[in-house]
Structure 1
């Protein structure tokens, strides 16, 4: 069974680590501080604990899943002996390129180097490593344990065999992969970012109450969740940087972030994770 490393123990990194461990993979979960690693593992323990309480898994399965996850703050230790590294760091190109440079230096030549980026260019990320042909995008969706899709993104130099191995990993973890060209925002976020921006502008322009804006999409377009509710789950910071990235890469005004999102970011109203976003929690 493949052993993987997750670089970044936040919401996405912890979620990917969880589904990998549930599928039987051994996982090294790494972040830059012990407290971040502990928080990520704590999140996984809560998810798995709820499954045990609901009798969806046995106590033995619960213990086995958690036993497959190892936390560390050292990237060298995280990537040792793994067959695949998945980067789930903040959505900033300079951070990702620095990580991939290190990953290329530390990993064996046959290791898959993957990014969970939602909007950034896989080709540009790959340019920072000695092995661009081994770099692929695996864009999971939030919350990872519940969302079925993964966008597998092929960079300009990504080998077809690497794309297949990444897609096979996703299927092994219970997800449905789709193969996507390396374009800004890939498939899903090109749609979602337009909805995010429009939702924020409707709030800013006081077109309706937050609740009614969300009811409009849920009842009028059969969306399972309102767009404001969704942004609060995803995180206003993630939404803002995704839009910013799309705007910078496409120069299309439709992706220019609504000023309200910047205001919410600056005041730390990031959604569920800070207790306040478009709603209060």
Structure 2
């Protein structure tokens, strides 16, 4: 993006882990964000969570030396009006995603690109329920998105050139490299990674190794940057289980059926970093 070119206008749906992370990425690159959260409690704490992420990005050297974008926190899809791109980052539940995207589509009109940050639901499955399916594509940001510079870009069979061009302009403004992949359950990263995490958790469940031992072996022997179970804690174990369910339902792959240990952790509220405990223990809120 040239200095003369105005920053794209971005709206983000959902102030959870990924919505907050994507918002932080945009703000540190000077892109203004309207962050929409319909839940009053989550909305009340959204600015604090973003500010904490901004401080973390600063400490980790991930903030470029440019003016920070403006953040507005709003309650309704109607507040997305005027955005060039809207990124949906809500719960991995197809019905909820379709409802949110349909509401946004009605609010913004035919010129705004709609992006789903789903980790597992095919873009075409979501697009077929929308009034303007040509406006939808997938961009799978990884968490924390202000540290991970590569993203999956999924073009559905209905995705139009205008939407694709708008998203490519946004990614350029965010200094992100998009790798285009084919549509389908889990795309590339989730199709490979989430089954691996499920298998890693199953090894711990069977008592053959601790979570620390699994991660150490995967890091030191196979070069996995954080280890699969630390990654599970970062993703959010509830989000991971939801994604595995989608993969299992749409592929029939028994290896994607969430193992008992993952399901038990969700039932016990051990969701990973966001809850303070998952496979590891964390200071709450970090």
- Which position in structure 2 is the counterpart of 1:119? 120
Q: Structure 2: any 5+ residue segments left out of the alignment? A: 1-6
- Which position in structure 2 is the counterpart of 1:2? 8
Aligned positions, number: 276
Q: Structure 1: any 5+ residue segments left out of the alignment? A: none
The CA deviation at 1:54 is 7.9
Normalising by structure 1, we get a TM-score of 0.92
Selected match of 1:76 from 53, 75, 78 = 78
The CA deviation at 1:55 is 8.4
| Kept after mapping to 1: 8 A contact 2:8/2:169 | no
The CA deviation at 1:152 is 1.0
Q: How does 1:68-217 map to 2 (within 5 A)?
A: 68-77=70-79, 79-217=80-218
Runs of 4+ residues deviating >4 angstroms: 50-58
Selected match of 1:24 from 12, 21, 30 = 30
Structure-2 separation of matches of 1:69 and 1:220 = 42
| Kept after mapping to 2: 8 A contact 1:120/1:185 | yes
Residues 94-136 of structure 1 show CA distances to partners (whole Å, capped at 9, x for unaligned) of 0001111111211121110111101001111112211001111
| Kept after mapping to 1: 8 A contact 2:25/2:174 | yes
Sort the Cα spacing of 1:55 and 1:148 in 2 relative to 1 into closer, same or farther, 3 A: closer
Sort the Cα spacing of 1:124 and 1:272 in 2 relative to 1 into closer, same or farther, 3 A: same
Structure-2 separation of matches of 1:161 and 1:131 = 12
| Kept after mapping to 2: 8 A contact 1:140/1:151 | yes
Sort the Cα spacing of 1:217 and 1:69 in 2 relative to 1 into closer, same or farther, 3 A: same
Sort the Cα spacing of 1:192 and 1:38 in 2 relative to 1 into closer, same or farther, 3 A: same
Structure-1 separation of matches of 2:78 and 2:242 = 28
The CA deviation at 1:164 is 3.2
SS at match of 2:34: strand
Structure-2 separation of matches of 1:52 and 1:106 = 35
Sort the Cα spacing of 1:147 and 1:197 in 2 relative to 1 into closer, same or farther, 3 A: same
The CA deviation at 1:52 is 5.4
| Kept after mapping to 2: 8 A contact 1:98/1:128 | no
- Which position in structure 1 is the counterpart of 2:4? none
Structure-2 separation of matches of 1:237 and 1:111 = 31
The CA deviation at 1:40 is 2.9
- Which position in structure 2 is the counterpart of 1:33? 39
Structure-1 separation of matches of 2:193 and 2:135 = 28
Kindly indicate whether residue 47 of structure 2 is the aligned counterpart of residue 45 of structure 1. Answer: no
| Kept after mapping to 1: 8 A contact 2:127/2:136 | yes
Structure-2 separation of matches of 1:175 and 1:54 = 17
The CA deviation at 1:174 is 1.4
Sort the Cα spacing of 1:243 and 1:143 in 2 relative to 1 into closer, same or farther, 3 A: same
Sort the Cα spacing of 1:84 and 1:56 in 2 relative to 1 into closer, same or farther, 3 A: closer
